[in-house]
Amino acid sequence: MRKNVLLLESVADEAFAVLQENVNVFTGYDEGSLKDVLSKVEVHGIITRGKKRIDKALMEACPHLQVAARCGVGLDNVDIAEATARKVRVINAPGSNAGTIAEHVLALMLILMRDLYTSVEHVKQNNWDWRNQYAGDELNGKTLGILGMGNIGKRVARLAEAFGMNVIYWSRSEQDLPYKYLPMDEVLKQADIISLHLPLDKGTDQIIGKKELALMKPHAFLINTARGALIDHAALLNALDAQALAGFAADVLPEEPPVQNLPLVQHARAIVTPHSASLTASTYRRMCLLTVNNVVAVLTGGEPDLNSIYNRNSFV
């Protein structure tokens, strides 16, 4: 008997085709269609991306659920504890977005350090003389502080080295790496650029607040491509307004999409992209296919990649 999979968000066309070949596919992209599916279908698998949640209430409505998956890396929109308690395998795509997010981080660094956005805007306004007051700098010789040395942090470090940067880092544990490990406060004090690559949990929620921002150099830049809630945004806005921080760049915010004319988004010292770092065509396709193939493997008796089953230790 073919199993039934509920999609809460769209996936890449090739991944959707894989699903259709192997399982029955139902979509619950809005509240009405979701309720309709749940009232009529015995759901065995649920797939989401970055917005829709797979929470306790949804799992309770799917008593035959075998797998809950996210086409991505972070799992803060999946109730892992509830899934594990129900013997539901939680699948993600670890490492699949490391390269593209690292590229995005370097792009944001260059935009901030060289003040590229401002330069482009002045040229578009026919103000070539902007070059006479240009005050940008370069990455070469600067110190990059990485908070969180996982797959993405390591890729960022290697790219930064290629630009001639000195890399220091703090993570939850010291690793065997060619970079200097320091307490977080020291990384904040010494770095010219701080890049966040931490998961969001109780221990990291607003890990960068007023105290931490005050430790940073006034000419330093802060970059966040991990999770918006890692930063106390009220404290960040105050630091930018007081010129206690040279600039901020992010691909994530605590609430997405943000309200219109959000002061931080509109700030002259801030650059924000719409959570698009991992939406390049290549990475989006890879994340979706990796996730979908593992979901299909679980539901059809195949062999999923064990590294993609987040709570695999609970099934040993």
- How far lies 314's CA from each of 77, 81, 132, 149, in Å? 20, 11, 62, 25
Residue 286 belongs to what H/E stretch? helix 281-300
- Domain 4-96+281-315, CATH class in plain words: alpha beta
What angle, rounded to 10 degrees, do the helices at 98-114 and 281-300 form? 150
Task: Specify whether the CB–CB gap between 238 and 212 falls below 8 A.
Answer: no
Model pLDDT, residue 51? 86
* SS3 assignment, position 171: coil
pLDDT in tens, 259-288: 999 999 999 999 999 999 988 999 999 999
On the question of a cis peptide bond just before residue 178, with omega within 30 degrees of 0, the verdict is no
Model pLDDT, residue 1? 87
Question: For residues 309 and 211, what is the distance between their CA atoms, to the nearest angstrom?
Answer: 37
Rg of the chain over CA atoms, in angstroms?
22
Choose among 46, 50, 44, 31: nearest CA to 3: 44
Which DSSP letter does residue 61 get? T
Mean pLDDT within 55-71: 97
What pLDDT band is residue 50 in, cutting at 50, 70 and 90?
confident
Task: Specify whether the CB–CB gap between 42 and 80 falls below 8 A.
Answer: no
Apex 75 CA angle, 172 and 63, nearest 5: 135
What pLDDT band is residue 315 in, cutting at 50, 70 and 90?
confident
Task: Specify whether the CB–CB gap between 58 and 86 falls below 8 A.
Answer: no
Q: Is the pLDDT of residue 74 over 90?
A: no
Strands (E), 165-257: 166-170, 180-181, 193-196, 221-224, 247-250
Question: For residues 306 and 298, what is the distance between their CA atoms, to the nearest angstrom?
Answer: 10
Model pLDDT, residue 76? 86
Mean pLDDT within 4-14: 97
Dihedral of alpha carbons 242, 146, 284, 139, sign: positive
pTM of the model: 0.86
Active site residues: 227, 256, 275
Residue positions counted in the chain: 316
pLDDT in tens, 174-211: 999 999 999 999 999 999 999 999 999 899 999 999 99
- Considering the chain, what percentage of its residues have pLDDT values greater than 70? 100
From 3.40.50.720, 2.60.120.260, 3.20.20.140, 3.30.565.10, which CATH number describes the 98-272 domain? Answer: 3.40.50.720
Choose among 132, 97, 313: nearest CA to 226: 97
In the chain, CATH 3.40.50.720 covers 4-96+281-315, 98-272
Which strands make up the sheet holding 89-91, listed edge to edge? Answer: 24-27, 4-7, 45-48, 67-70, 89-91
Task: Specify whether the CB–CB gap between 100 and 156 falls below 8 A.
Answer: no
Model pLDDT, residue 83? 97
pLDDT in tens, 213-232: 999 999 999 999 999 999 99
Model pLDDT, residue 87? 96
